[in-house]
Structure 1
């Protein structure tokens, strides 16, 4: 294994080393399957694109709704045990993708996979909260693991490009088998962690405690607004560059490379600066401001000569990366710091649901604003991002003051 990759997996805490190894295994498989799944189900199996898109949308909604109850299950049965079960379930479901011959089999399988996957996101975050004391240290651990995730996705995507030389059908089947196998491998790696006793429950523990915590719910909703930056990179920027600017099209893959590299390399350095509640609050405000600047720079690229527009795009990408990194680490800190210790699973499930919500609303918001209205749409989006950052800060301060009294 290359030395740079070893530095991303190895962590001073044994528990985080195990989680990093499991995350790397799982995301290599996911990275292989992501570019190939659409080719397989539409081009090889022959499912209509519209039906696949509808099934994915329904699956995303189901996953978002299931995240909190599955997190609650992790609180009651132990995060490690539930996480292992979820990963084994995902592996079995993905293996069944090879049997799909109609939308009636594809839709329930992809829905079940999304439900379990959202559960994995929340329960894994609760597992980190169990293993690492203190919000600052958890933030650094989660930043380290996020860089591992991007490393795994990059490796998996590279492997998918290699196997595509074997043909669409063979490559997709290899990707499906690899993703299923790596889910099982990740589950086995998690078994190396000690089984911690579940949190003691009251007489009638509610699986919806996090949802009823309205200030926390509001904070996560505001973070979901900031999370639309992910869709800006993957969805809006390629369309904006190709249709509304004179920027050379080679800039599109360059943006993806820069985004992946920054997330691999800069997560931990940024996390080191988010070591307190005050720092996390500042990071949220910076995130909103940076994303607002990115929107305004992108608006300025329209009608600008290629060289100047490319310079503006470079500034926008830098601002987007700054905003994304600050938002991620502010979320890592505040989401565990402001959650009750005995309900981290369901509270982190709510965070996972918020991430899914950002992915769901992103394409619609970006289509309705900048892609449809140009510079005016970018300006509105800039104001929304800035307000969301300020809103996170205000909500977090109010929550902390209320809980301190």
Structure 2
């Protein structure tokens, strides 16, 4: 008998492998098979991605009403349907409709999966499950990327089509694994449902402050994908091949270390460990500033890897711990709505980061790193200030084991 936790991990891994296969070729797929210019493909994909912001609050309502598992599984089916439409796309309008389906499923996933973890795991088990999720997701994304690279080496349109169809099948398989996990959610009778909808969330000032405090950190997370490749190649003069190596350092580090690091962190207050992670992010950003001012040659290469390792350490400290903190801080009756609002602190920076960080980098590379460092340092301080106002069960994952700190 496969346990619920193993089924959850299998679902997350299969999901990540499907995403890892498709994400690296998302722009190239439509350009290669429809002949549309890359610029047009990019605009259509961005327009479709905006729907993720719309599906986010809808997902929150659905989670509270029907349960997180239902929304997670439904989102998988929606994304699979979108991928199965991709081979039939031959012009902009069908492409937008197919991309929009996938975006709707993507947008519903973060608040739904966080709510689901909160339903099936309590206390430090929640931290450990989120850590295992992050670890396996990184491993799955990497494996999917390798499979896609091997398939594309064949150099045929059929390889693109196979990757898309297999990605859709992966989402169906993930839905199968997650859908069999018992859920503790009980449908609330209509007469007993929480009135006021999202007004309940906006009255929760502590949770809103926690959400706002995450915005600078979310921008910090985007550095690896947006700013760092441009900075090290154009500002520091490093080889473009180094970009992939640094990405591997980060993803492999998370895959290998997230679980043991999080197990160690469950002894301490989540707020303080998340704040420590943000502080390490800040130090890594300042390290990149120093590299641009003082380093050359071998020292520069060593410094780039050291700063990237610091960034990875910040992610290890912050990622799973902050997710468990937020899931535990959300009131159970409106957890879906609360987490969908919190997810906006990720969705908006992800949408704005390419334009904003590129503009800052063009204006001043040093200025960009200093602003990011100051922002995440502010997030760390805000986390510490919010600690007394947060529920004790959110701050401490082990209420029965209070360590001296």
Normalised TM-score (structure 1): 0.89
Residue 122 of structure 1: how far off its partner (Å): 1.6
Find the partner of 2:171 among 167, 179, 183: 183
CA contact (8 A) 2:250 2:309 kept: no
Equivalent residue, structure 1, for 2:398: none
Residue 291 of structure 1: how far off its partner (Å): 1.5
CA contact (8 A) 1:247 1:306 kept: no
Find the partner of 2:15 among 26, 46, 49: 26
Q: For 1:351 and 1:203, locate their aligned partners in 2 and report how far apart those are by CA, in whole Å.
A: 21
Q: Structure 2 vs 1, CA of residues 250 and 82 (structure 1 numbering), >3 Å: closer, same or farther?
A: closer
Pairing 1:107–2:96 present? yes
Equivalent residue, structure 1, for 2:259: 268
The superposition leaves residues 384-404 of structure 1 with CA deviations (integer Å, 9 ceiling, x where unpaired) of 111122112223433448x99
Structure 2 residues not aligned, in runs of 5+: 396-405
Equivalent residue, structure 2, for 1:388: 379
The answer to which of 252-261 and 204-213 deviates more is: 204-213
Equivalent residue, structure 2, for 1:7: none
CA contact (8 A) 2:226 2:358 kept: no
Root mean square deviation of aligned Cα? 2.4
Q: Structure 2 vs 1, CA of residues 171 and 205 (structure 1 numbering), >3 Å: closer, same or farther?
A: farther
The answer to which of 303-312 and 391-400 deviates more is: 391-400
Pairing 1:160–2:160 present? no
Q: For 2:10 and 2:325, locate their aligned partners in 1 and report how far apart those are by CA, in whole Å.
A: 25
Q: 5 Å matches for 1:60-139? A: 60-134=49-123, 136-139=124-127
Q: For 1:20 and 1:346, locate their aligned partners in 2 and report how far apart those are by CA, in whole Å.
A: 25
Q: 5 Å matches for 1:270-309? A: 270-275=261-266, 279-302=269-292, 304-309=295-300
Q: 5 Å matches for 1:134-149? A: 134=123, 136-149=124-137
Q: For 1:210 and 1:268, locate their aligned partners in 2 and report how far apart those are by CA, in whole Å.
A: 31
Equivalent residue, structure 2, for 1:253: 244
Q: For 1:244 and 1:370, locate their aligned partners in 2 and report how far apart those are by CA, in whole Å.
A: 9
Equivalent residue, structure 1, for 2:43: 54
Pairing 1:224–2:215 present? yes
The superposition leaves residues 87-122 of structure 1 with CA deviations (integer Å, 9 ceiling, x where unpaired) of 112111111011111111112321221122221222
The answer to which of 392-401 and 19-28 deviates more is: 392-401
Q: For 1:214 and 1:66, locate their aligned partners in 2 and report how far apart those are by CA, in whole Å.
A: 23
Equivalent residue, structure 1, for 2:29: 40
Q: Structure 2 vs 1, CA of residues 78 and 233 (structure 1 numbering), >3 Å: closer, same or farther?
A: same
Structure 1 residues not aligned, in runs of 5+: 1-9
Q: Structure 2 vs 1, CA of residues 204 and 387 (structure 1 numbering), >3 Å: closer, same or farther?
A: closer
The answer to which of 142-151 and 371-380 deviates more is: 371-380
Find the partner of 2:180 among 167, 177, 192: 192
Residue 184 of structure 1: how far off its partner (Å): 0.9
Q: For 2:201 and 2:7, locate their aligned partners in 1 and report how far apart those are by CA, in whole Å.
A: 28
